[in-house]
A and B are shown apart, each in its own frame.
Chain A
Amino acid sequence: MIDVGSRKGAGQRERNGFPRLERAPLTRTSSRGNAMVRRRLVAGVLVVLSLMLITIYFRESPAGGLHNLQSAGATVLRPFQVGAERVARPFRDVYSYFSGLVGAKSENARLRSEVVELRQLLIQSETARRENQRLRELLRYRAPSVYPGDYRPLAAAVIGHPQTQFEQEIVISAGSGAGVAVNAPVVNGDGLIGRVTDVTSGTAKVVLLTDQSSAVSALDIAPESGAAGLVQPARPGDASLLLNRVGKDERVAPGDRVVTEGSQRGELPSFYPRGIPIGVVTFVGQNDTDLYKSIQIKPYVDFGSLDSVVVLVPRRANR
């Protein structure tokens, strides 16, 4: 190592053919000091500014100045995000195609058996639907919002993905300008994704079902079950879900399908209409100490590969 502080050491290195290191003249000391003060000042100011932004953002309402500023910024960034997403889409499709080939044979066999099962279910449900419709007319029953009939589907691209494992949120390319409102349900062809929590004129933030703040009233639609509960994420970052608050006397079995209950009871009605598929029960357990069953659900939606979604915009004012 070169000894910068010792003249003797530096002299020795020079004699051995190494360049001699010399302290900068005293006149430079003050400029070095100034540079040090300047860089600490800049870093300090930026850290304080960041802390101020966090504090103000947390304390102000969603209609506050900083939120509006962020909304304007998001609107400016939106075309760039949409452009980047469009450029990336072909590459993503190619990747999905090849990754889909892995395990395609076993998946094909599973899907064939599922088709047979679903065909039988379709016949049964069609009969039940007609009977249901006839009975409603007889009783003049006024139903709550029904999915998907009472909603206008609004397709949007996903232009922002979670940046860390902390966030279970996405940003989509449709905002209040297209009719998206806070708490609007978001789905795709597979099932429920989440709900809108933040809206700008051109973008919206969607909190996924796997976020720790999510809770959806749900229903087991197996003919012998009908158990209602609350679907919540299993643990942070985990894709599986739990169906909580299902009593021990309810009948729930692996393979049962779970959909949104669309509960309109009480002061806090559900944000989601009835009947949106959520997932399939994979595990049911219970022990003596717990009040409720322990039910695990595998969601239909693959939350790791969302590239487009559908926002459900009510056709009429429901609430």
Chain B
Amino acid sequence: MTGALDVAKTALLVFFVAILQVTILGSIDVAGGAPDLVLVTLVAVALLRGPIFGAVAGFYAGLLVDTATLETLGLTSLVLTLAGYWIGRYGETTGRDRIQAPVLSVLVITVLYAVGGYVLRFVLGDAVSARLVLVESLLPGIIFNCLLAVPVYALCRRLLHPVEAFDRSREVRLLG
């Protein structure tokens, strides 16, 4: 029951975050960069709920963004699915219970998301500038996203039940 409730909450959260990102946050341009609330929220969800939740949330968020912006369907989904899965795995293994995990994850995934997006579009034949994407807009993007990481993670933690409660205890048990 709690799981179903969390799925519904996550679906609603991701929906409104995607709308907010596409409509408002995407237009912000400070020093060439913009915050990516969808990515930050996905990282928080994946850290709290694991790789399956992260991958599905990433796929769903990508579909919403691609639909709202009339972009190539599946492009954002592909990158966000991989991001959600990878952060979910990090969250239930190395990053487990580490206080710096949200900020560190957001930092790494912002860089990987930019690189992944660049490679995908390059392969698809789009005219993209590596200097612009990987140098000029990346640093402000990282700063924006890292600033959002802690409040967004705290909000998601209040909304969703962390996965420890039912799954993580199967991996390693603390005795004594």
Shortest distance from the beta carbon of A129 to any chain B beta carbon, whole Å: 38
CB distance from A90 to the nearest CB of B (A): 12
**Do residues A22 and B173 form an inter-chain contact, with CB atoms below 8 A?**
yes
CB of A280 closer than 8 Å to a CB of B: no
A58 contact set on B, CB distance < 8 A: 72, 124
Decide if A109 is an interface residue (CB 8 Å cutoff). Answer: no
Flag whether A134 is at the interface (Cβ < 8 A): no
CA–CA, A275 and B12, complex, Å? 47
Pick the contact of A161 from B23, B50, B124 — CB < 8 Å?
B23
Bitwise interface map of A from 40 to 82 toward B, beta carbon under 8 Å scored 1, else 0 = 0011001101111110011000000010001001100100110
CA distance A261 to B79 in the complex (A): 41
Whether A198 contacts B117 by the Cβ 8 Å rule is no
Could you tell me if A88 and B23 are in contact, using CB atoms closer than 8 angstroms?
Answer: yes
> If A39-B85, A46-B55, A167-B69 touch, does A161 touch B27 (CB 8 Å cutoff)?
yes
Interface membership of A160, Cβ < 8 A: yes
Which chain A residues lie closer than 8 Å to B59 at the CB level? 46, 49-50
Contact of A43 among B26, B51, B62, B175 (CB under 8 A): B51
> Which of B1-9, B126-134, B153-161 forms part of the interface with chain A?
B126-134
Q: Are A54 and B117 in contact (CB under 8 A)?
A: no
Q: A21-B175, A81-B19 are in contact. Are A51 and B117 (CB under 8 A)?
A: no
Asked if B68 and A24 make an inter-chain contact with CB atoms under 8 angstroms apart, the answer reads: no
Please give me the 7 A-B residue pairs with the lowest Cβ-Cβ distance, nearest first.
A53-B74, A212-B127, A161-B26, A50-B78, A236-B129, A73-B67, A237-B132
Given A158-B27, A237-B129, 9 more pairs with CB closer than 8 A = A4-B172, A32-B170, A43-B55, A49-B77, A50-B77, A163-B71, A169-B69, A205-B69, A304-B29
